[in-house]
Structure 1
Amino acid sequence: MADVFTWAPTVANASGNATLRTRTAQFGDGYAQKAADGINGRSSTFSLQFIGDAAKITAILAFLDAHAGATSFLWTPPLREQLLFTCEAYTEPTKDGNVYTMTATFNQSFAIS
């Protein structure tokens, strides 16, 4: 079973994108026919921001480093069910007083690796 990412991102500066994969057959008269591509034709990517004290941000960094960008983990995006993701890129934390800020990019995956 995959580990679960439990930390909540901030609402500000968080965004997500969904990509729907299709195949297109282009015909000579300008007509095109499209069809969904595969059983996992929809994939999501989220850019997330986390703000917190040193303990919270250190725990997030440890979780992401332990998964090394290659091992999938479970996370629940807004208005969706729990899905598998990997995180291959995140920013190093910045400090403002006793508060740290970092961002991470979560890419949906379809198999536990």
Structure 2
Amino acid sequence: MTDFTWSPQYGAQLDKTPRTRSVQFGDGYEQRRNDGLNPVLQSWTLGFQRSKTDIQQIDDFLTAKAGITSFSWLDLNDRPVRVKCPKWSVVEVDRSVTKLTAVFEQIFEP
């Protein structure tokens, strides 16, 4: 079961950031390895354009989580993933439509 049930607009962006550790040796040699059990972190930039009431519900949900508390969400391939939302913005498109853009960052916790 997912906590965040709103579907984003088309055009969502997925970014992947590998975590690595490296050591520089003499003569230009370098040794690299993965950092941790989950070395590739994912983040999504998502857009939601809906009525002011619907956007207010999403904004309230994200405000309650305050960028600290994680929640479950179905990613762009409908796989459940644990995320936090450290940043989002709200723009009034017109009197009845509002747009919210959010960044979801994948997290790993027990």
Q: Identify the TM-score tier after normalising by the shorter chain.
A: 0.7 to 0.9
CA distance in 1, matches of 2:27, 2:66: 49
Change in CA separation of 1:80 and 1:41 when aligned onto 2, cut-off 3 Å: farther
Q: What's the RMSD between the two structures over aligned residues? A: 1.9
Match of 1:98 among 79, 88, 96: 96
CA distance in 1, matches of 2:42, 2:99: 23
- Ranges of 4+ aligned residues in structure 1 off by more than 4 Å: none
Q: Is the 8 A contact 2:67 2:86 kept in 1?
A: yes
Residue type of the partner of 1:42? V
Structure 2 residue runs of 5 or longer lacking an equivalent are none
CA distance in 1, matches of 2:36, 2:79: 20
Match of 2:39 among 31, 38, 41: 41
Identity rate of aligned residues, in percent? 36
How many pairs does the alignment contain? 110
SS of the aligned residue for 2:47 comes to: strand
Distance apart, 1:58 and its partner CA: 1.4
SS of the aligned residue for 1:9 comes to: coil
Match of 2:55 among 54, 57, 79: 57
Structure 1 residue runs of 5 or longer lacking an equivalent are none
Residue type of the partner of 2:8? P
- Larger strand percent: 2
Residue type of the partner of 2:84? T
CA distance in 2, matches of 1:109, 1:9: 20
CA distance in 2, matches of 1:17, 1:74: 18
Q: TM-score, normalised by structure 2?
A: 0.87
Q: Is the 8 A contact 1:25 1:32 kept in 2?
A: yes
Q: Is the 8 A contact 2:2 2:80 kept in 1?
A: no
Distance apart, 1:99 and its partner CA: 1.6
Q: TM-score, normalised by structure 1?
A: 0.85
CA distance in 2, matches of 1:39, 1:89: 26
CA distance in 2, matches of 1:92, 1:59: 12
